[in-house]
Amino acid sequence: MQAQRPLAERLRPQRLEDYVGQEHLVGTEGVIRQMLDSGRVTPFILWGPPGVGKTTLAQIVAHSLGREFFVLSAVTAGVKEVREVLAHAATPALGRTGTPILFIDEIHRFNKAQQDSLLGAVERGDIALIGATTENPSFEVISPLLSRCQVYTLRSLEPEALEKLTARALREDEFLSKVHFLFEETEAYYTFAGGDGRRMLNILELLYNAREGDTVRVTNALVQKLLQQRAPRYDKDGEMHYDCISAFIKSVRGSDPQAAVYWMARMLAAGEDPVFVARRLVILAAEDIGLANPNALLMANAAMAAVQQIGMPEARIVLSEAAIFLATSEKSNSAYLAINEALAFVSQETPHEVPLHLRNAPTNLMKKLGYADGYQYAHDFPGHFVRQEFLPAGMEGTVFYTPQENARERDTAQRLERLWGDKYKAKKA
Query: Which pTM was predicted?
Result: 0.57
Reading the chain (429 residues) residue by residue, the pLDDT tens digits are 345 788 888 888 888 888 888 888 888 888 888 888 888 888 899 988 888 888 899 889 888 888 888 888 877 777 778 888 788 777 776 556 678 888 988 888 888 888 888 888 888 888 888 889 888 888 788 888 888 888 888 888 888 888 889 999 999 888 898 889 889 888 888 888 878 888 889 889 888 888 888 888 888 888 888 887 544 555 555 556 778 888 999 999 999 999 999 999 988 887 788 988 999 999 999 999 999 999 999 999 999 999 988 888 899 999 999 999 999 999 999 999 999 999 888 888 777 888 888 888 888 888 888 888 889 999 999 999 989 988 888 888 888 988 999 998 999 889 888 888 888 775 565
Burial class (CB in 10 A: 0-12, 13-18, 19+), 402: middle
For residues 374 and 361, is the Cβ–Cβ distance under 8 A? no
Residue in 42, 39, 37, 59 with CA at minimum distance from that of residue 127 = 42
Q: How far is CA 419 from CA 157, 385, 404, 412, 416, in A?
A: 60, 8, 18, 11, 5
Cβ neighbours, 10 Å, residue 255: 16
For residues 43 and 150, is the Cβ–Cβ distance under 8 A? yes
